[in-house]
């Protein structure tokens, strides 16, 4: 690893990333892979947990969503921690929490112990969800920043897809009694492998040059910037960073001026809207939804794998288009496409043909999310805030995201228990609500979000200051 990172080559605008920036971005993005892996492992395990611990609907929702409460806790302090101690140390903390959670959730004797370690893992997820894209944004040259940050979303959906395969494989190792007693334990224990790899590789990545410069370590920052994109890039970037830092010192009150408060509200709105479109109802409860629509356990797990494959494939499209087409077009058209698919599911539900159309429209919805709202929201959140408060501002925005995710995930099993799935689909109410939020997101992006494609973080900061 050290040898691979020793000879970086400059990256001219319009060209792809150097080997150095690509390698350290991939390592940081492993935090996103663990994010996806640890949140989605519940999709294959929840049915077995429900039987093993005899969970009622409210407890089923709590077991599934408890990690999301941990996410809310994690992002509550992750921003302050990252601003004080650095982005790299923050990622190390997330990796350690992932590792401990994998051990604890695989060995519990009662549901209370399981939930405690699930929440602990959620704290790690919350930290990684903020720290990984922020770190990648701060080390990436402007002309490839969108692609590099999108690697984090690619890693998230890769983690989801990998754990879907792992769940499918583990469930096939025994009969129903073995699945209920042991399969879910192996599903959670499997997280030890990616979390161990993440912790090991983090030993080779540098601290964010912007954080170093902000904390009086400009020499170290300059060395890292030179490795990223050559000496000429390093000198220009260092000058821009120092000018931005000086501007912040001269106008510290401007960071908290009404315009900046509006920027924070915009970030919170985008983060929450990414979740209240219902994405995680399908990602977390997809297996149970397919089972209630008539699929066997193995067939439902297989259909969930198909969802994961579509999610990954269309995220690749986002990685290659976000720096070409821009943030706004992808967010607007993706939101519209998601809304259209949700309306189609609602219409199919009202016509009584849910089983026939569910997978088709669901895959369309996942495709639109994966190539737009999923990755691009993280890109925007990682780049719109000033350097001095980026950690704390991203923490607040991500807090909004995980709170929305927790509410959606907690309430779904309770709604499902009060109305049969067929009855719930017949009314189609949730899908129309989610579609409405898609329309709100498209409108907010169109009216409030400037295009940030190709701009340096310092240029974006100056734009908001003006």
Mean pLDDT calculated for residue range 241-257: 60
- Residue 349 pLDDT grade (very low, low, confident, very high; cuts 50, 70, 90): low
pLDDT band at residue 248 under the 50/70/90 scheme: low
- pLDDT at residue number 350: 72
pLDDT at 354 over 70: no
Distance CA 363, CA 424 (A): 20
Class of domain 19-465: mainly alpha
Output the pLDDT for position 229.
Answer: 74
Q: How far apart are CA 339 and CA 333, in angstroms?
A: 10
The stretch 43-50 carries a mean pLDDT of 87
- Find the Cα–Cα–Cα–Cα dihedral 165, 168, 170, 175, rounded to 10°: -170
Q: Are 239 and 222 in contact (CB under 8 A)?
A: no
Q: What is the pLDDT of residue 121?
A: 94
13: pLDDT confidence band, cut at 50, 70 and 90? Answer: very low
Stretch 87-100: mean pLDDT: 95
Residues 6+ apart with CB under 8 A from 15: none
Between 326 and 458, residue with greater pLDDT: 326
232 closest CA partner among 9, 5, 4, 7: 9
Residue 338 has pLDDT above 90, yes or no: yes
Q: What is the pLDDT of residues 159-212, one digit of tens each?
A: 988 998 899 899 989 898 999 999 999 999 999 999 999 999 999 999 998 889
| Range of lowest pLDDT (70-74, 127-131, 417-421) | 417-421
At 289 the pLDDT is 67
pLDDT in tens, 359-371: 788 899 999 999 9
Res. 355 pLDDT band, cuts 50 70 90: low
Q: Is the pLDDT of residue 269 over 80?
A: yes
pLDDT digits (tens, 9 = 90+) for 282-328: 777 666 667 666 666 677 777 778 888 998 899 889 888 888 888 89
Residue ranges per domain, the chain? 19-465
Q: For residues 325 and 300, give the distance between their C-alpha atoms in angstroms, rounded to a whole number.
A: 36
Distance of CA 229 to the CA centre of its chain: 27
| Residue 241: pLDDT band with limits 50, 70, 90 | confident
Q: What is the mean pLDDT of residues 110-123?
A: 94
Q: Tokens for 173?
A: 């190792």
The whole-number pLDDT of residue 110 equals: 92
pLDDT value, residue 12: 46
Q: Is the pLDDT of residue 102 over 70?
A: yes
- Please tell me which residue, 384 or 3, carries the higher pLDDT value: 384
User: Average pLDDT of 82-89?
Assistant: 90
pTM of the model: 0.74
The average confidence (pLDDT) of the chain is 82
pLDDT at residue 307, as a whole number: 85
What pLDDT, on a 0 to 100 scale, did the predictor assign at position 427?
A: 53
Across 235-260, average pLDDT: 66
pLDDT at 238: 86
Amino acid 362: pLDDT: 86
In this model, does residue 415 exceed pLDDT 60?
no
- Average pLDDT value for residue range 114-123: 95
Query: If DSSP states are collapsed to H, E and C, what string results for the chain?
Result: CCCCCCCCCCCCCCCCCCHHHHHHHHHHHHHHHHHHHHHHHHHHHHHHHHHHCCCCHHHHHHHHHHHHHHHHHHHHHHHHHHHHHCHHHHHHHHHHHHHHHHHHHHCCCCHHHHHHHHHHHHHHHHHHHHHHHHHHHHHCCHHHHHHHHHHHHHHHHHHHHHHHHHHHHHHCCCCHHHHHHHHHHHHHHCCHHHHHHHHHHHHHCCCCHHHHHHCCCHHHHHHHHHHHHCHHHHHHHHHHHHHHHHHHHHCHHHHCCHHHHHHHHHHHHHHHHHHHCCHHHHHHHHHHHHHHCCCCHHHHHHHHHHHHHHHHHHHHHHHHHHHHHCHHHHHHHHHHHHHHHHHHHHHHHHHCCHHHHHHHHHHHHHHHHHHHHHHHHHHHHHHCCCHHHHHHHHHHHHHHHHHHHHHHHHHHHHHHHHCCHHHHHHHCHHHHHHHHHHHHHHHHHHHHCCCCCCCCHHHHHHHHHC
Half-sphere exposure of 417 (CA within 13 A, CB side): 12
């Amino acid at each position: 690893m050290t040898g691979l990172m020793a000879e970086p080559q400059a990256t001219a605008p319009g060209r792809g990333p150097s080997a150095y920036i690509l390698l350290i971005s991939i390592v940081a993005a492993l935090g996103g892979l663990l994010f996806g892996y640890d949140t989605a492992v519940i999709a294959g395990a929840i049915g077995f947990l429900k039987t093993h611990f005899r969970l009622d609907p409210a407890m089923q929702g709590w077991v599934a969503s408890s990690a999301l409460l941990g996410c809310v806790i994690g992002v509550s302090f992750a921003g302050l921690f990252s601003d004080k101690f650095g982005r790299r140390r923050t990622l190390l903390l997330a990796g350690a929490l992932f590792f401990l959670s994998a051990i604890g959730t695989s060995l519990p004797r009662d549901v209370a112990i399981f939930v405690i370690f699930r929440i602990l893992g959620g704290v790690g997820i919350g930290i990684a969800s903020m720290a990984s894209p922020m770190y990648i944004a701060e080390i990436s040259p402007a002309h490839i920043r969108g692609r590099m940050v999108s690697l984090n979303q690619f890693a998230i959906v890769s983690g989801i897809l990998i754990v879907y395969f792992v769940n499918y494989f583990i469930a096939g190792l025994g009969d129903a009694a073995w699945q209920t007693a042991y399969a879910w334990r192996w599903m959670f224990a499997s997280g030890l492998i990616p979390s161990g790899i993440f912790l090991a590789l983090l030993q080779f990545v540098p601290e964010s040059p912007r954080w170093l410069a902000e904390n009086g370590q400009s020499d170290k920052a300059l060395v890292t910037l030179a490795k990223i994109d050559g000496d000429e890039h390093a000198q220009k970037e260092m000058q821009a960073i120092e000018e931005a830092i000086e501007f912040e010192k001269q106008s510290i009150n401007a960071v908290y001026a009404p315009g900046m408060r509006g920027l924070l509200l915009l970030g919170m709105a985008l983060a929450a809207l990414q979740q209240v479109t219902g994405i995680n109802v399908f990602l977390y409860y997809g297996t149970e939804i397919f089972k209630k629509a008539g699929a066997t356990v193995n067939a439902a797990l297989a259909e969930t794998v198909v969802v994961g494959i579509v999610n990954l494939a269309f995220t690749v499209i986002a990685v290659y288009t976000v720096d070409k087409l821009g943030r706004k077009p992808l967010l607007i058209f993706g939101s519209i496409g998601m809304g259209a698919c949700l309306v189609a599911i609602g219409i199919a539900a009202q016509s009584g043909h849910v089983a026939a159309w569910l997978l088709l429209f669901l895959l369309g919805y996942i495709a639109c999310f994966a190539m737009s709202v999923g990755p691009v929201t993280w890109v925007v959140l990682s780049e719109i805030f000033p350097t001095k408060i980026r950690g704390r501002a991203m923490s607040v925005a991500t807090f909004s995201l995980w709170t929305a995710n927790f509410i959606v995930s907690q309430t779904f099993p309770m709604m499902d228990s009060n109305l049969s799935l067929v009855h719930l689909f017949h009314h189609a109410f949730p899908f129309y609500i989610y579609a409405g939020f898609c329309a709100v997101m498209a409108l907010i992006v169109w009216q409030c979000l400037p295009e940030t494609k190709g701009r340096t973080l310092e240029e974006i900061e100056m734009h908001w200051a003006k």
